[in-house]
């Protein structure tokens, strides 16, 4: 179930403005020196940063999420010819892998592998840092806690569960508003700003008696009435994680093991980064294999069911994966999922991590990468184009 791993003394300061480091399973892993703090990690050149993205538990405190006893088998389906060697899209595919520093791609349709590619030295055994795709996992655990009766309603106040936030700007914020990042509490998530809230939260020691996240956010001011303004906040998903842990009486890693990892049959242990008091970072940094990313996507695509029984309430996924808040033309935000008007939705993480789910096509696409910048329009457009190319090929094949 849960295992605590201690791999590096530079825990909180080196953890980063967004928990942006992660490490690698390569033989020659570079040392993490004291200068590697917060924003410095986010500005490292990609070739130096990549070795940390693929072995989180070598450098940071983590809890282990044990694999399933029986593996959920992913059978091989027919390969997508266009992306194979000599296919009409092969050249563009290879250029995409190189330009965006993509290290793993998996396409599942109807639960079968249609495309799988790794870039050396990475392989099926590499556990890649999810970064903010972890938010979508944490959200699903909220649904599980509702189903189990640990959380009574999304419209209850957050402070019913996280009592240390009483007397703060979160006093009138509901669980639903935390899930949709509409608390109205002021926050700056600029990954390249060393003075941003996300950088300062990870770089400061917590006050005695508090975990890292609640210690920081309980001092923040309000900028808008609760429920009226959307601002992306990793801290608030960390709070969602604290809430689930407090409500269930279990660490997130244990609850994830119990509700999804073991019963669904994940192939390898996952590692979830924790803070200095043992709380998993609900908003970041759950390391798993490419295929287990795909299995989680398939689990969601299949209605979050194990053995025919849903882990979440019957209406949960429909609510979680539709737009609760409009954030731009054709785009929205659900319960920790990025949504589109065409019905597709995604979990996304910095440096190009993508978990794309298309219910209409029974399709899951996973991209693991170590892009040059944490975020960026050009890189995002390149990923979207690749996924559009996959969809176009599958649609043509169906015709």
Q: Is 261 in contact with 65 (CB distance < 8 Å)?
A: yes
pLDDT at 31: 43
CA–CA separation, 380 and 137 (whole Å): 21
DSSP H or E run through 93 = helix 90-99
In order of 11, 200, 392, the CA distances from 294 in angstroms are 30, 33, 20
pLDDT at 50: 84
CA–CA separation, 42 and 52 (whole Å): 12
Q: Going residue by residue through the chain, which has 399 residues, state the pLDDT in tens, using 9 for 90 and above.
A: 444 443 332 333 233 433 333 333 333 344 433 323 334 456 667 677 787 888 788 877 899 999 988 999 999 999 999 998 889 999 999 999 999 999 999 999 999 999 999 999 999 999 999 999 999 999 999 999 999 999 999 999 999 999 999 999 999 999 999 999 999 999 999 988 888 999 889 888 899 999 999 999 999 999 999 999 999 999 999 999 999 999 999 999 999 999 999 999 999 999 999 988 889 999 999 999 999 999 999 999 999 999 999 999 999 999 999 999 999 999 999 999 999 999 999 999 999 999 999 999 999 999 999 998 889 999 999 999 999 999 999 999 988
Query: What 3-state class would DSSP assign to 253?
Result: helix
pLDDT at 52: 80
pLDDT at 366: 98
pLDDT at 312: 98
CA–CA separation, 365 and 391 (whole Å): 10
What is the CATH T-level fold of the domain 4-145+242-398, as seen in this structure?
Answer: Beta-lactamase (3.40.710)
Give the side-chain half-sphere CA count within 13 A for 377: 0
User: Using only C-alpha atoms, what is the Rg of the chain?
Assistant: 20
CA–CA separation, 289 and 368 (whole Å): 10
Domain residue spans of the chain: 4-145+242-398
pLDDT at 203: 80
pLDDT at 11: 32
Q: Is 296 in contact with 355 (CB distance < 8 Å)?
A: yes
pLDDT at 19: 37
Outline where 43-87 has alpha helix (H): 46-53
CA–CA separation, 337 and 133 (whole Å): 9
Query: What are φ and ψ of residue 151, in 5° steps?
Result: -115, 130
pLDDT at 42: 62
In order of 127, 177, 266, 361, 379, the CA distances from 71 in angstroms are 16, 36, 6, 24, 34
In order of 14, 44, 215, 277, 374, the CA distances from 21 in angstroms are 8, 10, 22, 19, 11
Query: What are φ and ψ of residue 65, in 5° steps?
Result: -105, 105
| Biggest alpha carbon–alpha carbon distance for the chain | 63
pLDDT at 8: 35
Residue 28 CB partners (closer than 8 Å, separation 6+): none
DSSP 207: P
Round to the nearest angstrom and report the end-to-end CA distance of the chain. Answer: 46
**Nearest in space to 97 (alpha carbons), one of 352, 364, 388, 377:** 352
How large is the angle between the packed helices 90-99 and 377-398, nearest 10 degrees? 150
């Amino acid at each position: 179930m849960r295992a605590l791993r201690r791999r590096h003394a530079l825990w909180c300061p080196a953890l980063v403005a967004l928990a942006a480091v992660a490490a690698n399973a390569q033989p020659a892993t570079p040392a993490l020196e004291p200068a590697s703090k917060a924003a410095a990690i986010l500005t490292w050149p990609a070739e130096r940063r990549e070795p940390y993205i693929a072995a989180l538990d070598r450098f940071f405190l983590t809890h282990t999420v044990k694999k399933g006893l029986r593996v959920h088998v992913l059978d091989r389906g027919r390969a997508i010819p266009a992306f194979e060697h000599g296919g009409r899209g092969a050249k563009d595919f290879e250029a995409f892998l190189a330009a965006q520093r993509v290290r793993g791609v998996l396409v599942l349709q109807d639960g079968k592998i249609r495309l799988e590619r790794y870039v050396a030295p990475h392989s099926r055994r590499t556990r890649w840092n999810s970064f903010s795709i972890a938010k979508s996992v944490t959200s699903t655990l909220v649904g599980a806690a509702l189903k189990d009766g640990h959380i009574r309603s999304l419209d209850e106040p957050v402070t019913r569960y996280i009592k240390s936030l009483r007397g703060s700007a979160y006093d009138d914020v509901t669980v639903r508003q935390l899930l949709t990042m509409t608390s109205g509490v002021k926050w700056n998530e600029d990954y390249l700003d060393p003075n941003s809230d996300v950088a300062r939260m990870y770089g400061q020691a917590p006050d005695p008696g508090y975990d890292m996240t609640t210690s920081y956010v309980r001092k923040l001011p309000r900028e808008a009435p609760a429920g009226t303004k959307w601002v992306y906040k990793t801290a608030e998903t960390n709070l969602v994680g604290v809430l689930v842990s407090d409500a269930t009486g279990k660490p997130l890693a244990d609850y994830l093991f119990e509700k999804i990892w073991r019963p669904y049959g994940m192939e390898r242990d996952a590692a979830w980064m924790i803070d200095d008091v043992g709380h998993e970072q609900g908003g970041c940094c759950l390391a798993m294999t490419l295929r287990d990313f795909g299995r989680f996507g398939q689990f969601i695509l299949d209605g979050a069911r194990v053995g025919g029984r849903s882990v979440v309430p019957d209406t949960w996924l429909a609510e979680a994966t539709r737009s609760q808040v409009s954030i731009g033309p054709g785009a929205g935000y659900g319960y920790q999922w990025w949504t589109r008007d065409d019905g597709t939705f995604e979990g996304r993480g910095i440096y190009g991590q993508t978990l794309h789910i298309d219910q209409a096509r029974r399709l899951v696409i996973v991209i693991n990468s170590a892009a040059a910048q944490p975020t960026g329009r050009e890189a995002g457009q390149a990923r979207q184009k690749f996924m559009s190319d996959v969809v176009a090929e599958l649609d043509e094949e169906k015709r």
